Amino acid sequence: MSAQQEDLTKIIEELEQKCLALPDNIVAHHHLALVYRKAGRTAEAMQSLKRCLEIDPHAVEALINIGAMHFEQGELDKALAANQAAVQVNPALAQPHNNIGLIWQQMGESDKAIEAYTLATMNDPKMHMAWINLASAQVMAGNFALAVKAAKEAVRLEPDIPMAHNNLAVALYYHKDFQAAKKSLTKAKALGYAVDPRLVEAIENEL
């Protein structure tokens, strides 16, 4: 057992004792769920998150984490339901809207993904991942000018995020601005992004 695993085991034991002593303490159960998840104990993490909802059916962070776990396991319908429940509790949050966008995009529903990502950016205009994802969904839908706009906003917010530059390069390529696409892709690569060699070749073929 590694030192990190030993530390996690110790933390889990302490939190389990705390949850036994304070069975209605939602913070303790939620913290335990997060540590279970980090330790790879997914079933126990899910059980602790569901306990949070038993204590408080409006525990929005628990709903978001339940959705994330279902998404990781490929259970898209359950992930969607959990995030939609989070939105029902607090429609002003950005994260569940962004998560809903990811789920719809995974399902091939670009228009629904765009709607969800747009709500995320409206709720939190500084959420760069929502802009990055929105750019991807706009490309998927064939809205290349809007994809460029979204990707540029992501780059403006977080100029050192390589994925933002990569998604801008993709959007610019489809928008037929090949010189700008090459520049953005070069920046993405310089920041450590594993750029798609097919995109590199496609841009070079247009120059």
- What tens digit of pLDDT does each residue of 137-168 get? 999 999 999 999 999 999 999 999 999 999 99
Q: How far apart are CA 90 and CA 60, in angstroms?
A: 8
- Whether residue 1 is predicted with pLDDT greater than 50 in this model: the reply is no
pTM of the model: 0.88
pLDDT of residue 15: 86
Tens-place pLDDT, residues 38-90: 888 899 999 999 999 999 999 999 999 999 999 999 999 999 999 999 999 99
With a CB cutoff of 8 Å and minimum separation 6, the contacts of 49 are 29, 30, 33, 62, 65, 66, 69
Q: How far apart are CA 46 and CA 176, in angstroms?
A: 46
Q: Measure the CA angle with vertex 196, ends 195 and 199; round to 5°.
A: 110
Q: Which residues of 99-121 are buried (b: 16+ CB within 10 A; e: fewer)?
A: bbbbbbbeeebbebbbbbbbbbb
